[in-house]
Amino acid sequence: MKNDWNKSQYGFETRAIHAGQEPDPTTGAIMTPVYLTSTFVQESPGRHKGWEYARSQNPTRSAYEACLANLESGKHGFGFASGCAAETTALHLLKAGDHVIASDDMYGGTFRLMDKVIKHNGIEFSYVDLTDVENFRKAIKPNTKMVWIETPTNPTMKLVDIRKAAAIAKEKGILSIVDNTFMSPYFQRPLELGADIVLHSTTKYVGGHSDVVGGALIVNDDDLAARIYFLQKSMGAICAPFDAYLSMRSLKTLALRMRQHDINGRKVAEYLEKHPKVARVAYPGLPSHPQHALAKEQAHGFGGMMTIYLKGGIDEARRLLENVRIFALAESLGGVESLIEHPAIMTHASIPPEARKALGIDDTMVRLSVGVENVEDLIRDLENALSKV
Ligand SMILES: *Cc1c(COP(=O)(O)O)cnc(C)c1O
């Protein structure tokens, strides 16, 4: 009976509310309690109820991990203290001498972790443009052990064909990992497309309310799951019980939120694309996006993330950022409230200037995380700020 919320029988919305969760057996409480305990009493040495020490397992965390795994069409989920903690743990599946092929356009903190930290463990990284999967094939070396995919990429909103990349990885015995933060399991499920590991910064859409920092890994393969579980408990970068509770609570409304992010995102993108002060809008949901067809094929929606290029330069961008009122000037994304930011100065400052230039992260680029406020209000807010540009 337990956790029998399978996909063939129940829709996403139902599983998001029930998977991994049972009414509390001692009280009947419908919500999973927050188990604030570091240890669990044993009846006799080694005889216990399946819980020993809370770094290894915590019932609140386990319920959340099971729910998230279910939504990603995976068998095993692992909650971490942050997206970066999930990344650090995943990168410890490798050992010195191994080679990783990663997207050349990724979240700045992921690049920093690889290039300034993990590299010193003797792991080699190649950053290639994975929007053409042939570049992935060409970059493979005898010691290539992992391909790191982020799609849509951050901040240029380019797409990687998950199915094709995962097929090449499988053929060559390379682990494929997909950072699914921008799409959430509601819109994109990389395991269904053949990927080995899904990664989330649950700080973003999964958490959805800008009140918790967290990360997750989800897999199907039992052996891979055992290796990740060993790393999770050994390295200890676990998701705390209260954070697990908040994130699980957020999953219950993920479908509702994502649908509205998508509706609002499309309307804002269409509005901005027609605006005379905007040079270009990069949003996979617009027919003008060069990979719009792929977006429709591998995802079930487009979400609320977009990047715009203004006409002019840094002063124009600054005036837009300073004159919005509903859109808050802040890093991060995926919350119910709309955010706006300047990648070159803010989220992607850790990428060297030459590399930023090559990727097209220039001074006129502004990234929007469109929230779930009234969309007419959002458009009026942008209209007003653009009038001051
Ligand atoms: C924010 C983010 C991360 C890092 O996650 P944290 O929770 O901030 O540690 C990784 N990947 C993407 C795409 C992100 O947006």
Q: Using CA atoms, how far apart are residues 347 and 349, in angstroms rounded to an integer? A: 6
Rounded to 5 degrees, what are φ and ψ at 100?
Answer: -120, 135
Q: Tell me which residues have their CB closer than 6 angstroms to ligand 1.
A: 82-84, 107, 109-110, 150, 154, 179, 181, 201, 203-204, 213, 215
302-325 tens-digit pLDDT: 999 999 999 998 899 999 999 999
Q: Which domains does the chain have, with CATH numbers?
A: 12-251 (3.40.640.10), 255-387 (3.90.1150.10)
Q: Tell me whether strands 124-128 and 99-103 are parallel, antiparallel or unpaired.
A: parallel
Which pLDDT score, from 0 to 100, does residue 154 have? 86
Ligand 1 centroid to residue 107 C-alpha, Å = 7
Which pLDDT score, from 0 to 100, does residue 3 have? 61
Ligand 1 centroid to residue 255 C-alpha, Å = 20
pTM for the model stands at 0.96
Which residues of the chain fall short of a pLDDT of 70? 1-3
46-99 tens-digit pLDDT: 999 999 999 999 999 999 999 999 999 999 999 999 999 999 999 999 999 999
Single-letter residue type at 222: D
Q: Is 179 a catalytic residue?
A: yes
Atom of ligand 1 nearest to the CA of 182: 13
Region of 40 on the Ramachandran plot (φ > 0 left; ψ -120 to 50 alpha; else beta): beta
